[in-house]
Structure 1
Amino acid sequence: MKKYSDYKNSSVPWIGEIPTTWNLSQLRYVIECLDGKRVPVELSLRADMQGNIPYWGAGNIVDYVDKALFDEELVLLGEDGAPFFDHTRPVAFHITEPIWANNHIHVLRIKENADPKYIVYVLNAVDYKEYINGAILNKLTQSAMNRIKIPLPPLSVQKKISKHLDKKVAAINALLTQKESLVTLLQEKRTTTINNAVTRGIKTTAKMYESSVEWLGEVPENWRIVPAKALFAQSKETRHETDVQLTASQKYGIISQEDYMEKQSYKIVLADKGLENWKHVEPNDFIISLRSFQGGLEISYIPGCITWHYIVLRPKAGVEPEYFKWLFKSPRYIQALQRTANFIRDGQDLRFSNFVQVPLPLIPMDEQKEIAEYLNKETARIDSIIADITEQIEKLKEYRQSVISEVVTGKVAVE
């Protein structure tokens, strides 16, 4: 790792020492801010101006429109809502195509003393702690942006750095793309594995018959199709005096509100009124929550009480809860559940009347257990591989950031 011959102190903690031939500059001296030319357009109005011109928001393209506000080489820098404190994600972007920009991203024309690509690299290495007004959604005001201190080598060196980093970063990004594609394939395999097991079983030699139920299709000949209410009853049992308050979460499942607060690291106010209407929950009950339209039904492994807005389903004879845990979270079942309503929106209230419209398979208990055990093992295996690759992805992103930081601050010499 080659270094420059001599260094001097920049007095900026994130930069450290810089080569003696480099300058330290405030951003204001290398940019012309074009924020006054930005025009935000509401989503409803953009519906009438759809096209192929990128419409930029805080840190990404949020839409495409039919005309451009800017058509020149520019640098975009997040103003509010950008990931300023996550150095694995960019906040600055090099633009060479026509764009429209709203008022959530700074639009910068780079002066002749700086290379636009270099400025993007250095802005993605800045420590933004002293420049961000955290009281307003991590907002980088124009005045704070102008004060950002950056290392500024001679223009010829900036261009060499940009060319060097383009090559290095492209190689890392190619590897990241491969690994991210592999994660996507594994996630698809996981989904297919669940769908197939809960609707077709795991016995490859089983004879099949047409169930005449759209979401199930062909099923093993020893399976029967029955109304959902033949397997589950709606429980209206009210809260017990000793019940803890439960939360239905797509992320954590059914857990106590105390545990939920601890996991989320924030406090919520526990209900103290109307508790007499809350519903008692037993282990192996299933909960229909406001989010069941998106993520299916949740199984409870603990007793407690849940808000009266939710539906509690109690298994009847012939139900192995661990099998139905997988079935009720399978994409094919969720899609069938969605089709029971006239419209779907975030937080739509799903009722027992929707649940009973989706027929369910009645399967021998031992087979239900075999399917559940298979899915527990197979999904755990796939999840472990995904976790390993995800960790590799995060390390690659951190490595990419360290490569950029070391070069733009002069710790590594570029010839």
Structure 2
Amino acid sequence: MSRLDKLIAELCPNGVEYKPLEQCCSILDNRRKPVTKAARVSGEYPYYGANGIQDYVSEYIFEGVFILVGEDGSVMTPNGNPVVNWAEGKIWVNNHAHIVEEKEGILLRYLYHFIQTVNVSDVIHGNIPKLTGKDFRAIRVPVPPLEVQREIARVLDNFTLLTAELTAELTARKKQYEYYKDKLLSFDADITTIPLANIAEIGTGSSNTNEAVKDGKYPFFVRSQIPLLKNEYEYDETAIITAGDGVGVGKVFHYVEGKYALHQRAYRIHIVDKRVLSKYAFYYIQAKFYDYISKAGFHSSVSSIRRPMLNAFEIPLPAIGLQKEIIKALDNFDKVCNDISIGLPAEIAARQKQYEYYRDKLLTFKEAR
């Protein structure tokens, strides 16, 4: 019998009381203050939104230890759980995240782990997903004795600490990857360059988001999102995909080989010039296009790419042999940093699953009657 089993058998053998979240903590939502990006003054203090740190600003409005839970926007994980962040020190929180502070009788760290187990999919509504204050405050929380809370938090923190260490190592490797990517894709000024329009077919798709289906056969690329699925394909080719507008502009590219469908507000870049390998072009665009589009992009309420911007983007033309060497080196880095079936990504995914398994198991209590 584990220490936790002994504590439960001794202190709460007949179950535990469940209470509304608002009775288990202090909810400080009335002290939040949103600040537009244009009005923020850069500084050292984290500025939090629905899904974590959005910026760093020169002032703070909270100081202490807090749980932050997404209120609107990116507020739910694929499993239907809330988006939860742990925050310490001096911080600023906007009005897109609920802010929770410890109250006597319930450990904040215990609450942090528990809130992540709650399925909120039935109470998230609206075109912009929202977890309202009313629904948030009503979440039912099992309240075991403090000794039990403390042991649960200790066990689960051991899992999160290991995951954090692995994640830090992966972050370091990704920085190394970006360094070498930039180095490999930087060429002498005298190398020949050519506009993208001269080496590729460029166009948008014709599909609409509501054409996606859960059990579709073909990848359906919708701007910067993870590919959806569709039952019919529009193209059968090797292509580079990027968003035409929205938050993914200039940042997120997909590389596809085979049959796929494309959203009407996403671009396909199909390389047709035999002097350019498609994978080389993908890596070059991925590395260099964001800086280019930041200067050339059309900025209104929604950032967007206009076709002439893509047409004019210059691609260097090193020898095919050098392109192959660049592809080989960057493919290896990409596997190490991003392939969830091997290395650190696989180990982090396994540890996260292990944490979630034990978290759900340890935080399930019989309700006392």
Q: TM-score, normalised by structure 2?
A: 0.66
Greater C-alpha Rg: 1
Partners of 1:178 and 1:372 in 2: how far apart? 29
8 Å contact kept, 2:219–2:230? no
Identity level (%): 18
Gaps of 5+ in 2: 208-217
Partners of 1:165 and 1:74 in 2: how far apart? 18
Cα deviation, 1:76-107, whole Å, max 9, x if unaligned, reads: 22212344334699733444423222211112
**Structure 2 match to 1:355:** 312
Pairs within 5 Å for 1:235-250: 247=205
The aligned length equals 335
8 Å contact kept, 1:82–1:91? yes
Does structure 1 residue 393 correspond to structure 2 residue 348? yes
Q: Secondary structure at the match of 1:99?
A: strand
Please provide the CA RMSD for this pair. Answer: 5.1
**Structure 2 match to 1:75:** 67
**Structure 2 match to 1:174:** 165
Partners of 1:67 and 1:288 in 2: how far apart? 36
Does structure 1 residue 30 correspond to structure 2 residue 30? no
**Structure 1 match to 2:210:** none
Cα–Cα, structure 1 residues 180 and 89, in superposed 2: closer, same or farther, change >3 Å? farther
Following TM superposition, by how much is the alpha carbon of 1:127 offset from its aligned partner in structure 2, in angstroms? 2.1
Q: TM-score, normalised by structure 1?
A: 0.60
Cα–Cα, structure 1 residues 153 and 323, in superposed 2: closer, same or farther, change >3 Å? same
Does structure 1 residue 105 correspond to structure 2 residue 97? yes
Cα–Cα, structure 1 residues 122 and 355, in superposed 2: closer, same or farther, change >3 Å? same
Partners of 1:91 and 1:289 in 2: how far apart? 25
**Structure 2 match to 1:320:** 274
Which of 208, 216, 228 matches 1:264? 228
8 Å contact kept, 2:159–2:351? no
Partners of 2:166 and 2:54 in 1: how far apart? 26
Single out whichever of 341-350 and 100-109 deviates more from structure 2: 341-350
Residue type of the alignment partner of 1:351: P
Residue type of the alignment partner of 2:145: P
Partners of 1:393 and 1:288 in 2: how far apart? 28
Partners of 1:286 and 1:96 in 2: how far apart? 41
Does structure 1 residue 117 correspond to structure 2 residue 81? no
* Structure number having the greater strand percentage: 2
8 Å contact kept, 2:163–2:348? no
Residue type of the alignment partner of 2:111: I
Pairs within 5 Å for 1:149-228: 149-186=140-177, 189=180, 195=185, 212-213=189-190, 216=191, 225=192, 228=194
Partners of 1:393 and 1:70 in 2: how far apart? 32
Following TM superposition, by how much is the alpha carbon of 1:149 offset from its aligned partner in structure 2, in angstroms? 1.5
Does structure 1 residue 59 correspond to structure 2 residue 40? no
Q: Secondary structure at the match of 2:160?
A: helix
8 Å contact kept, 2:241–2:255? yes
Cα deviation, 1:24-64, whole Å, max 9, x if unaligned, reads: 222122123222222222222224xx332322211312223
8 Å contact kept, 1:337–1:355? no
Residue type of the alignment partner of 1:20: N
Residue type of the alignment partner of 1:113: G
8 Å contact kept, 2:20–2:139? yes
Following TM superposition, by how much is the alpha carbon of 1:328 offset from its aligned partner in structure 2, in angstroms? 6.6
Partners of 1:285 and 1:68 in 2: how far apart? 46
Partners of 1:343 and 1:409 in 2: how far apart? 50
Partners of 1:19 and 1:329 in 2: how far apart? 59
Partners of 1:75 and 1:288 in 2: how far apart? 35
Gaps of 5+ in 1: 9-17, 200-210, 217-224, 237-244, 250-257, 271-280
Cα–Cα, structure 1 residues 134 and 54, in superposed 2: closer, same or farther, change >3 Å? same
Residue type of the alignment partner of 1:338: Y
